[in-house]
Amino acid sequence: MPPKPRKTTATTQPDQQPTTPKNTARADRPASRTTARAPAGKTRATANTKAGAAPQTAPRDMTKAEVVQFLTDLSRAWPDAQTELHYTTPFTLLVAVVLSAQATDASVNRVTPALFAAAPTPQAMAALGDEQVGQLIRTIGLWRNKAKNVVALSRQLLADHGGQIPHTRDELEKLAGVGRKTANVVLNVAFNQPTVPVDTHVFRLANRSGLGRGHTVEAVEKKLEARIPLPMVRDSHHWLILQGRYVCKARKPECWRCSARESCLFPDKTPLPHPKPSRTAM
């Protein structure tokens, strides 16, 4: 039985492709496509309609009044929404988000207790080194590259920021393995800044519902930040991720149990499934 909307305790599934330290393509910048594009990793089907998959784009964007109603409906379903990644400090949040590229929050949460016990600070992480970090995270995807990035960004923090996490997107994006989406998650969750990180789930839901349609992550992000009322911006990130993860799924959205189905502009809503008839003995 699919999970029902629920309160969460200790974002999302960040989905950027990890990178090497500097002068490389940013992790959470999508590759070029001819159709609507989702962030790299996780659920690439979110940007393209495949056989058996529902259409992904609403016929129009919502009005600002419709945006408010849609988000109000979601807020009732997820009143205590928070990131599902486990962390204790801005540094451990940053590391967890970097590790979550092309991995689930659950898989990251399984490796971070041992990692953060061994290296809770940039100093300790840099001292641990690539090989030891890699051994602690080897059950998650792309662990070798992620280990290099985590150690490299720790050394950058020590060299350039006195071991502290920067409070601006530009400075965060200079760190190894950190792209725009990861930077926005840290600013939103750690520093309470009104950013709207756009991951796979947010990209899909924004296009499908009409909340803010766009062919690229950056286009969707700009539209959402311009259209969502400021008091709702920070929390909307969590509402959208959880709704996309558990209800508005990529291949078959569970519209029949969506709290915002009346305010959603998706034209091909999935009806309540009919129970399968039980087999009788012949």
Annotated catalytic residues are: 181, 199
User: Is 264 marked within a binding site?
Assistant: yes
Question: Which residue bears the tokens 């030891």?
Answer: 132
Contact 153, 126 (CB under 8 A): no
User: Is 258 marked within a binding site?
Assistant: yes
Distance (Å, whole) CA 214 – CA 237 = 17
The pair of structure tokens assigned to 162 is: 């006195």
Distances (CA, A) of 57 to 35, 47, 217: 11, 9, 14
Distance (Å, whole) CA 61 – CA 58 = 7
Give 220-258 as a 3 state SS string.
Answer: HHHHHHHHCCHHHHHHHHHHHHHHHHHCCCCCCCCHHHC
Q: How many CB atoms lie within 10 A of CB 124?
A: 14
The pair of structure tokens assigned to 211 is: 């909340």
Distances (CA, A) of 258 to 83, 217, 237, 267, 269: 20, 24, 17, 14, 10
Burial group, residue 173, by CB count within 10 angstroms (0-12, 13-18, 19+): middle
- From 259, 203, 195, select the one nearest 228 (Cα to Cα): 195
| Residue numbers belonging to the annotated binding site | 248, 255, 258, 264
